[in-house]
Amino acid sequence: TVWSEESEGTNGIGTCIADQRALTIHRDQHFFSRNTLLSCTTAPVYDHEGNLAAALDVSSCRSDLTEGFVQLIAVAVGDAARRIEAENFRMVFSGARILLAPAAERTAGALIAVDSDDLVIGATRNARLALGITREALAKGLLAADVLGDAPGAREDLDDAERGVLQRALARAGGNVSAAAQSLGISRATLHRKLARFAIRRPH
């Protein structure tokens, strides 16, 4: 590619992709002299499976660019990259419940997708790293409660999400349990158990 390390040596985009980490290549840190007027701040963007998908870059030729301002740009670029990942993740798993994973730092990028059977069917890279989720584990089936159960507030997050799904399904079905269960892809008996567990009353 145009900005690969093979083509341009050390540079924001190419080095970010090669190292898979956020970084800033400032002026004479560039390999080629033709790029030394640039200050490039770049962050990797990962897809819904945790694979590197892109690099988000903000470059400037301003001669008055201070170290403090570069740091602010780095924070903004990193935040934007995580937001792009989160939006893509929500689009891919649009039919699932999206929960914030209990990462060490609760960032917008640490998300898991949970299906109607309370199985984790997807996780962003940040969530995979924070919770030790592997592709093999996802393929075998992971219970959300097992993944989140030991984290402070995680059980409440999961319960709140499930309660909301049940309430919305019942409301859309006009209180008809059979119709709500069908829309959720679960049996009528299972829905009754869940309604009793969360003390949810059917709308009249």
* One pLDDT digit (tens) per residue for the chain, 204 residues: 678 888 889 999 999 999 999 999 998 999 999 999 899 999 999 999 999 999 999 999 988 888 888 899 999 999 999 989 989 999 999 988 888 776 545 555 788 999 887 889 999 999 998 888 999 988 888 888 778 765 555 566 667 777 877 888 888 888 899 988 887 778 888 888 888 888 888 766
pTM of the model: 0.70
| Residue 122 belongs to a domain | yes
Q: How far is CA 203 from CA 78, 173, 176, in A?
A: 44, 10, 9
Determine what percent of the chain falls in helix, strand and coil, rounding each to the nearest 5. 50, 20, 35
Identify which of 8, 26, 27 has the alpha carbon closest to the alpha carbon of residue 18. 8
- Identify whether residues 35 and 116 lie together within a single domain: no
- Identify whether residues 19 and 102 lie together within a single domain: no
| Residue 64 belongs to a domain | yes
- Identify whether residues 105 and 164 lie together within a single domain: yes
> Which of the listed residues 32, 63, 91 is the one where a domain comes to its end?
91
- Identify whether residues 101 and 184 lie together within a single domain: yes
> Which of the listed residues 76, 91, 106 is the one where a domain comes to its end?
91
> Which of the listed residues 91, 112, 139 is the one where a domain comes to its end?
91
Number of domains in the chain: 2
| Residue 67 belongs to a domain | yes
Tell me which amino acid residue 131 is: L
Residue span of the structural domain in which 105 resides: 95-197
Task: Detail the DSSP E strand segments found in 22-145.
Answer: 23-26, 39-46, 52-60, 97-100, 111-114, 119-123, 142-143
- Identify whether residues 61 and 120 lie together within a single domain: no
